[in-house]
Chain A
Amino acid sequence: MASEREKLEKYISDAKLGPVSRRKLLKAFDADNPSPGHGAPNPNRTPVKML
């Protein structure tokens, strides 16, 4: 079964997009990026330590 990333890559490859946009979007998969952007799908549920 394809991973989410593979599915999205294929989708972008097949989508109606100009070649420049497609190239940039595909390149973004391997972006060497220090920031996770708006990518906080789940809150940090790690509990605090108790006494």
Chain B
Amino acid sequence: MEQPVPAFGYETEVEIQHILARPAFDELVNLAAETCLTAPRRMELHEQALKTAERPPTADAELVAKLGLWGVRSAHEMHHYPDSFTGRGGSRDPLQEDILLGDSSIMHPSRFSGRIDRDVQRKIEAFGQAVLDEAFICLGEDALDKVREYQSARGAKQKLHIINWLTKRVDQIQRHTDPRTEDVATEAVSPTGAGAEDEVAKEVYFYHPARLSPKLIGQFPDIEFNPTCLGVSVLVAAFAQKAGIPYLHAGVAQSSGEASREDYIHAIADVMVRAMDMGIKFPDAVRESFADIVRDAREELYKDHGYHAAVVMQITPTKWLQIDTNFNACRMYYKQESLELCEVYKTLTKLKPVAPSLEHMYDLYTGMEQPFVRMLYDRLHEQFAPTPEAIRSYLLEHDTATLAELAETFIDPLFSSEDNDATTQALRLELKRHTDGFIWKEKPDSAGRVPELHMQDVIRRYVFPDANNDDLTASLARCKRDPAYLERRVEDLLLAPLLYIVMLTGDLSNEAINGSGRYSHATLELGLPAYRIGAAILSDFDIYCGGDIPASFWLTYWPSHVSVTERIGQHENRPDEYIQRNTATLLAKTRLRYSKSHSIIQKFLEELPD
């Protein structure tokens, strides 16, 4: 991954560039403070407090100095996710070995960032802290009582009650001046309403950094402007900060919907491989349909919809919550997920004195639909695996059958077994979830679609398009007098369970995409709140109102993937380009990145001169 080193002395050039950027940075902080804070001087108090709290360097400081922030975060991410540089289930990448062996360009921090000036870091964190103070005021006069209630609450249930109040209040603030009326909102969630929602979003949510300003947003119920998604996350964070709740601020690297699109693509690839293994040929129409589906899913996955933010907070030692009112994605994590979040929180908190800007990817994604689909594959192979002979016999032995009966012969063996093993139990449970309407609940466009119906769809469209409604009598009769027809049907029926799995995966993906499943986000980029919020807001102000600060400055002071992709290609000179190139290459190598980053980074790296 190492790139050609530019001319001698690039580190000095970067340092000079950063020193020259200081006036622009100070001006940016002043602009953001004046816009966001009623009393900008309060920021100075926080700055002073941070300075006073500083301690002499520790062993952690040596580690950070040696590896740099990008190196430290990569090492931590690899520790938590050994496959982070390989892809799910992929082979190990030499880069990972290099890092683990300590012989890689990532061991040279100056190739990814400049020297850190603690004064700049303090300003960013103090600004974030002051924004949190100000944002608390937005929550309304009764917010302080709710903080006290939370602090005296006993047990998770009481605390959740207050958190529900918080999410409701934030939602009220968010919608207070939202011109989307109930009517428009209803249209936006109609079966074909995705486009309508986009149109509304374009019209209403034009982006301006002032929407991040708690000072301009106002105090509930007198809300002047609804905040952006980052502004909303700051409101939630402000409550957690005031109540002393352990929490982290998050960039949503991959939402559940995005993960589902990726899953769908993987499912189709899997089906094609499995079909090849089974010696089954795809009809041209199916192959073309797969290509179209994958192309479309990729396009949507890599679309740049902007960055999104959320908050995760701990309400008991083993319970963490994800709060994201924007995406209708507020949920409690499972115990194991919560324990992993505890680890990330501990790591970031421990390193705060020496690396307050450190970020960490949290990948809790184990798949919403994948386990289910994987179980179906396994069952298909291990216990079901219809053979051409068995299918041929069925078609020759039956004179009459309905689509439903034929579908059942395929579905039943998938979901039932004489062994009451764990897989069978899990599949039965999943089937119950689907048929009870848990998955398809309140979904007008596919209400009532249960797995059996998917299989009927497949058989009707891909095996017996000549069937007379649901009656297969004529088709079965033809099987007996037309050997060529029979053989084609045998081949099509071998393919049917695989097509069924694709259809089911697609349906489950759409459940995650339309938000009715309230899934957790798949991958989050986590950071300590005050610093992350300060950096994110300043970065947005710089993008819209400044732009005089070099990209390498942001890569140094906010080692987030956002810093890489937000200013990609906007390098001032060779050293700046060199640092951008290295960080972009690092991101290109890891699977733990923002969905939208893929195409941005790929384009940047392809267009770079050698």
Residue of A nearest to B204 (CB): A4
Contacts of A43 in B (CB 8 A): 255, 257, 305, 308, 326-327, 513, 515
Contact with B along A6-47 (1 / 0, CB 8 A): 011001100101101100110111010101111111111111
B545 within 8 A of A: yes
Flag if A11 contacts B212 (CB, 8 Å): no
B135 within 8 A of A: no
A51 to B306, CA, bound (A): 29
Flag if A50 contacts B210 (CB, 8 Å): no
Flag if A21 contacts B257 (CB, 8 Å): no
Partner of A46 from the list B327, B503, B513, B543 (CB cut-off 8 Å) is: B513
A21 to B102, CA, bound (A): 47
Contacts of B412 in A (CB 8 A): none
A33 to B543, CA, bound (A): 7
Contacts of A49 in B (CB 8 A): 292-293, 296-297, 506
B2 within 8 A of A: no
A42 to B303, CA, bound (A): 13
A50 to B297, CA, bound (A): 10
Flag if B209 contacts A28 (CB, 8 Å): yes
> How far, in Å, is B278 (CB) from chain A's closest CB?
18
A44 to B193, CA, bound (A): 11
A37 to B566, CA, bound (A): 8
A41 to B509, CA, bound (A): 21
Q: Size class of B's contact patch?
A: 35 or more
Contact with A along B18-55 (1 / 0, CB 8 A): 00000000000011001100000000000000000000
Flag if A41 contacts B228 (CB, 8 Å): yes
A5 to B207, CA, bound (A): 9
Label chain A's interface by main secondary structure.
Answer: loop
B507 within 8 A of A: yes
Contacts of A33 in B (CB 8 A): 543-544
Flag if A48 contacts B506 (CB, 8 Å): yes
Contact with A along B195-213 (1 / 0, CB 8 A): 1011001001111111110
A38 to B251, CA, bound (A): 9
A4 to B31, CA, bound (A): 22
B307 within 8 A of A: yes
Flag if A24 contacts B540 (CB, 8 Å): no
- In the complex where A37-B543, A51-B293 touch, is A42 in contact with B326 (Cβ < 8 A)? yes
Contacts of A44 in B (CB 8 A): 194, 257-258, 300, 303, 305, 513
Contacts of A42 in B (CB 8 A): 197-198, 201, 205, 326-327
A29 to B509, CA, bound (A): 37
Residue of A nearest to B508 (CB): A48
B172 within 8 A of A: no
Flag if B293 contacts A45 (CB, 8 Å): no
> How far, in Å, is A37 (CB) from chain B's closest CB?
5
Flag if B306 contacts A48 (CB, 8 Å): no
Residue of A nearest to B569 (CB): A34
Residue of A nearest to B191 (CB): A47
A25 to B34, CA, bound (A): 11
Flag if B264 contacts A8 (CB, 8 Å): no
> How far, in Å, is A48 (CB) from chain B's closest CB?
5
> How far, in Å, is A29 (CB) from chain B's closest CB?
6
Q: Which residues between 285 and 330 of chain B lie within 8 Å of chain A, taking CB atoms?
A: 286, 289-290, 292-293, 296-297, 300, 303-309, 326-327
> How far, in Å, is A27 (CB) from chain B's closest CB?
7
Flag if B543 contacts A27 (CB, 8 Å): no
Contacts of A39 in B (CB 8 A): 205, 207, 228-229, 306-307
Flag if A37 contacts B307 (CB, 8 Å): yes
A41 to B178, CA, bound (A): 12
B170 within 8 A of A: no
Using a CB–CB cutoff of 8 Å, the interface residues on chain A facing chain B are 4-5, 7-8, 11-12, 15, 17-18, 20-21, 24-25, 27-29, 31, 33, 35-51
Question: Top 8 nearest A-B pairs by Cβ distance?
Answer: A36-B306, A39-B207, A38-B230, A39-B306, A40-B308, A40-B306, A28-B544, A24-B545
CB pairs A–B below 8 angstroms (14 shown): A5-B208, A11-B216, A25-B210, A28-B544, A33-B543, A36-B304, A37-B540, A38-B212, A39-B228, A39-B307, A41-B204, A42-B205, A44-B513, A51-B503
